[in-house]
Amino acid sequence: MSLSVLSLISLPASIQDEVRSVDPSVALTMAPGWYDGEIRETWPAFTTERYLGRRSRGHGTREERDALLAAARVVVIGFPFPLDIGARAPNLEWVHQRPAGASNLRRGDLWDAGVVVTSSRGRAHNLPIAEYAVAGILHFAKGLQVAETERAERRFRAPAYAPVQLAGKTVCVVGAGGIGREVGRLCAALGMRVVGTRRSPAPPSRGFVGIRGADGLHELLAESDFVVVCCQWTPETENLIGRDAFAAMKDGAALVNIARGEIVDEEALVAALAAGKIRGAALDVYVGEFDRAPDPRLWGDPRVLLTPHISAAADVSSHRGADLFVENLRRFVEGEPLENVIDWARGY
| Active site residue ranges | 260, 289, 309
**Rounded to 5°, angle at Cα 13 from 65 and 59:** 20
Q: If phi over 0 gives left and psi between -120 and 50 gives alpha, with beta otherwise, what is residue 309?
A: left
Closest CA to 96 of 321, 336, 319: 321
- Name residue 280's beta-bridge partners: 254
Closest CA to 176 of 199, 203, 196, 193: 196
Helix (H, G, I), strand (E, B) or coil at 298: helix
Helix (H, G, I), strand (E, B) or coil at 119: coil
**Tell me, what DSSP letter sits at residue 150?**
H
User: Residue 115 is inside which H or E element, if any?
Assistant: none
Strand 226-229 to 208-212 pairing: unpaired
- Measured between alpha carbons, how far is 204 from 234 in angstroms, rounded to an integer? 24
Under a CB-based contact definition with an 8 Å cutoff, are residues 121 and 178 in contact?
yes
- Measured between alpha carbons, how far is 32 from 66 in angstroms, rounded to an integer? 15
- Measured between alpha carbons, how far is 277 from 280 in angstroms, rounded to an integer? 9
